[in-house]
A and B are shown apart, each in its own frame.
Chain A
Amino acid sequence: MLVSILNGFAIGFLLFILAVGLSLVFGMMDVLNLAHGALFLGGAYLGAQFAGDGWGGFLGALGIAAVAGLAAGGVLSLMTEPLRRRSHLDQALLTLGVALVVAELLIIVFGDDPLAVPAPPGLDGSVAVFGATYPAYRLVLIGFGAVLALVVHLVVDRTRVGALVRATVADREMVAALGVDNRLVKAGVFAVGSLLATTAGVLGGPVYGARPGLDSTILILALVVVVIGGLGSVRGALVGALIIGQVDTLGRVLLPDLASFILFAALAVVLVVRPQGLFGTAVAR
């Protein structure tokens, strides 16, 4: 039971890192980035590639993933730019095409066998937590996720850049009228969101491994988090991610046969009771 709750936190913080970028890009520019899962998978494969090299490999993979994520976000932002006058759906379809291409390129490069990713040395064992043994890496993941969540929260809530981002989510035209080029804001958020996705991939590697098809599984978890938490809300993404982390892991322990329905049920309940998400504003939609 305790193990399952800890697992829920580990997965919850991982999902938060993943979902916050998706949520901000969507809340801000109405661009649903369906390539987000593919970025995560890219990070996971990078982690798998360098996993044999110990800490250097792990940190190296994190660094490469961060740079690659920034670049990928910039490219995606540029790609959606010509479509800004078209419907949001066209932009989503574009990212869907990109997601297919990226996933297939990853298969070409890394093969289609599932890869296991060992945790970095020193963290690959287990530790005793209140009498239960628990993988050390996941504890570190919880701590790291919590710190990262705090950092993202502080940046978005307490800095000028964060204020700009929140203002753009709230009223894009007004921000543009104040003389801010919101294409730059969008590109920046897109880049940082993608960076978080690829980083989450490296961090999540030892938990999820790296395999074809993981991209859509992860994408859907992130989408559920975003829908439950409310669009464009950092706090919503955090709460949604922690809820989904707990619901998913507890569901798998308590009701293994129904586990796949439980996520959908959680989503349905939130949508029926509060269609704009827990922390969303009513204007979304």
Chain B
Amino acid sequence: MTAVASPAVPGGTAARPPRLTCGRGALISVVVLVVLAAAPLFLAPFATTTLTRVLVFALFAVSLDLLVGVTGLPSLGHAGYLGAGAYAAGWVSINVTAEAPVPLLVGAAVGALAAALTGWVTVRSAGVFFLMLTLAIGETLQQVADSWESVTGGANGLTGVPLVRLAGTPLANVGYTYWYVLAVGALGFALVAVLVRSPWGAALRGIRDNEPRMRALGYPTSLYKYVVFVVAGGVAGIAGSLLVAQQRLVTPADLGFLTSSFALLAVVIGGAGSLWGACLGAALVIVIRDALGPSLDGHGTLVLGVVFVLVVYLLPRGAAGLRPRRRRENA
């Protein structure tokens, strides 16, 4: 990866000076973290659980944003890697140990491995084709989860996952689980944020904006896309391990088409390429699906579908980063 260190930051549009906003950004991050950390002290357990789910989904959406917004690869099968990580973390917790950070690391590794095994096909394509391929892969992974009963528990899912243990003590309280999810989620977010601001991230944005030019500049763009696909899979795997820590069960639905669609919706609502936006989008999705869903007779999906349609019409800026690179510009 010596090319990454190359000082030639490509493409005028790709380079955004991160320094200017760094101080204020850091301050805002600290304030948000403090507020989030204090939240369970003031919230009812149900609200804390909902907030935990928001954090899990936010990390998942951020990992998807790395693909969709930053690199311009719209994935509709990303939940497959979330699920791979969740099943792996759950299986390890049941059969080996639930001691943190073992489930976490296993989840990340399996998520990245699943992405590494499938990514070599997907990164050969772009745009709508990438969407189709990832959709097919996500569905394949879901069928694996559904049919590999000895490991995944089949259609019933993997149940009876023990509580995560920290230094031998189980986190037997929604507040403790929340803080665990918050800590890991914040680290994951920071990891992605650092990657996005690095020269590597600039190269990814260059690929999004004009891949032929990046290739002409000497960047091995396919390798970049493959690596970011694997990294996104790994982060999704971490989110999966948090998911299983919170729900203490995984079902095939967790890696289905709907989960992938909702994550894409979260990214699109937030404005592709904006990590904070993805988190806010994730919050909206989870609040509608889990908190308001029951009062809508469980038809939160209907509302989210309508939101999806409205966002596509009304927020073209939100969907701006999704645009495939402008191909005909210098043809």
User: Which residues on A are within 8 Å of B, measured CB to CB?
Assistant: 26, 30, 32, 82-83, 86-90, 92-94, 96-101, 103-105, 107-108, 213, 216-217, 219-220, 223-224, 227, 257, 259-261, 263-264, 267-268, 271-272, 275, 285
Contact = CB atoms under 8 A, between A and B. Distances in A.
B309 A97 contact: yes
Interface string B276-315: 0000000000000000000000010110111111011100
A279 B144 CA distance: 30
Residue from A103, A216, A219, A224 having most chain B Cβ neighbours under 10 A: A216
Residue from A97, A224, A272 having most chain B Cβ neighbours under 10 A: A97
A88 B136 contact: no
A261 B301 contact: no
A82 B139 CA distance: 31
A172 B298 CA distance: 44
B292 to A, nearest CB: 14
Contact of B312 (A97, A104, A217): A97
B305 A97 contact: yes
B125 A271 contact: yes
B131 A90 contact: no
Given A98-B305, A98-B309, A101-B306, A216 B136 contact: no
Interface stretch (B82-90, B219-227, B319-327): B319-327
A259 B313 CA distance: 39
B147 interface: yes
B128 interface: yes
B140 A89 contact: no
A261 B118 CA distance: 11
A100 B312 CA distance: 14
Interface in B246-304: 256-258, 261, 264-265, 268, 299, 301-302, 304
Given A87-B322, A101-B306, 14 more contacts: A26-B128, A88-B127, A89-B128, A90-B322, A93-B264, A94-B308, A97-B306, A97-B311, A100-B258, A100-B261, A108-B302, A257-B147, A264-B137, A271-B124
A101 B140 contact: no
Nearest to B268: A93
A268 B121 contact: yes
A101 B307 CA distance: 10
Contact of A82 (B268, B301, B313): B313
A271 B121 contact: yes
Contacts of B316: 86, 90
Contact of A93 (B127, B137, B258, B308): B308
B326 to A, nearest CB: 10
Closest 3 pairs between A and B when the two form their complex, measured CB to CB: A97-B308, A100-B305, A260-B143
Contacts of A88: 127-128, 324
